[in-house]
Amino acid sequence: MLLLANKASERTSNDVVQYIKYFTKSKKCGHAGTLDPMATGLMILATDDDTKKLHDLTGKDKKYTATIDLGKISDTRDLEYREQFTQYEFDDSQIEIDWKKLARPTMEEIKTKLDSLTFSEWNPLPQLPLPPFSAKKIWWKKRYDLAREGSQEIVFQEMKIFDIQIVSYAAPLVQIECHVASGTYIRSIAYRLGKELGTGGILTQLERTQIGEYSLDDIWSYDPASKIPFSEVV
C-alpha cells in the first residue's frame, strides 16, 4: 500500500510511520523522506512489499513553502536551536552582527540574493553548508551525532534549486516558495540568505507541498482520532 500523509508540527516522521503501521496492520512501513519535527506537510509512505517503491520516490524533486526570520542565527538553522549566536563562522571568516544597527533589506535585495542561488545553465550549483543538526551522514556518522559530540566542522554540499519565489515580506519575516532537487536543505537556504544580507537567517516555518507528481492536494481523507490526514494512492 502506498499512502500520502500530512504531517503536523511537533510530530516526528517516525510518529507518522508508527501510526500508519498500526492503522494498516502492516508488518513493515517506511517513508520517502524525513521531515523535521517543526516541519509540516507531505510525506509518502509505503507498507510491506510496497516499500520497494520508496527508492524511486526518495530522489524526486520537492516543493516547499517556508518562512525565514532575517534577524537571527542559531546552531540548528531553525527555531529548534540549542544556542543562538551573534556572528557567522562561514568560509573561514567571521561577520559580527550589531542587531541594534541592523538595516532591513529591501524586497529587491532579497530577490537578488535568492536568484543567485537558483540553478541555470549560466549559474553553477551553489555550495551550501549542511545544517550541523541533520540526518546527513559524514564518514558513516550522522551530522547531528557529530554536532552533539562537539564537532564544529563546516561541510558544504551542492544543492540544486530550480526556483524560489517571494510570497510575502514583512521585516524581518520573508515567506518563500521553492522548488528544489532531493538533498536540498531549506535551512541552508535560510542560512545563506541571512549571511549574504548580513542580517542572519533562520527557518521559522516549513511545509512540504509536493514530492514528484504527488501533492498535499491529493490527500482527501482524515482520521479524527490520529489527527493525521492521509490517503491511499490509487
Three-class SS state of 195: helix
Residue 147 pLDDT > 50 = no
Task: Specify whether 36 is catalytic.
Answer: yes
Which of the pair, 160 or 121, is modelled with greater confidence?
160
pLDDT score for 77: 77
37-68, pLDDT tens digit by residue? Answer: 889 999 999 999 999 989 889 899 999 999 99
Residue 7 host element (H or E): strand 2-7
In this structure, of 20-29, 130-139, 224-233, the range with the lowest mean pLDDT score is 130-139
Q: Convert 142-165 into a string of H (helix), E (strand) and C (coil).
A: EHHHHHHCCCCCCCEEECCEEEEE
Where are the domain boundaries for CATH 3.30.2350.10 in the chain? 2-58+213-232, 62-210
18-27, pLDDT tens digit by residue? Answer: 988 988 899 9
Q: Average pLDDT, stretch 75-96? A: 58
User: In the structure grid, which three cell numbers stand for residue 35, read together?
Assistant: 521531515
In this structure, of 3-7, 77-81, 83-87, 191-195, the range with the lowest mean pLDDT score is 83-87
Give the pLDDT band (50/70/90) at residue 148.
Answer: low
Q: How far is CA 77 from CA 84, 132, 193, in A?
A: 9, 8, 12
Cα separation, 234 vs 45, whole angstroms: 13
Specify the CATH number of the domain 62-210: 3.30.2350.10
| Active-site residue, selected from the candidate residues 36, 56, 78, 223 | 36
pLDDT score for 90: 46
Which of the pair, 4 or 231, is modelled with greater confidence?
4
pLDDT score for 228: 67
pLDDT score for 92: 43
Mean pLDDT computed over every residue of the chain: 81
* Torsion region of 212: left, alpha or beta (phi above 0 gives left; psi -120 to 50 gives alpha): left
pLDDT score for 157: 79
Residue 131 pLDDT > 70 = no
Which of the pair, 83 or 132, is modelled with greater confidence?
132
91-117, pLDDT tens digit by residue? Answer: 444 555 555 545 689 999 999 999 999
Residue 128 pLDDT > 50 = yes
- Give the CATH superfamily of 2-58+213-232: Pseudouridine synthase (3.30.2350.10)
215-229, pLDDT tens digit by residue? Answer: 998 887 555 555 667
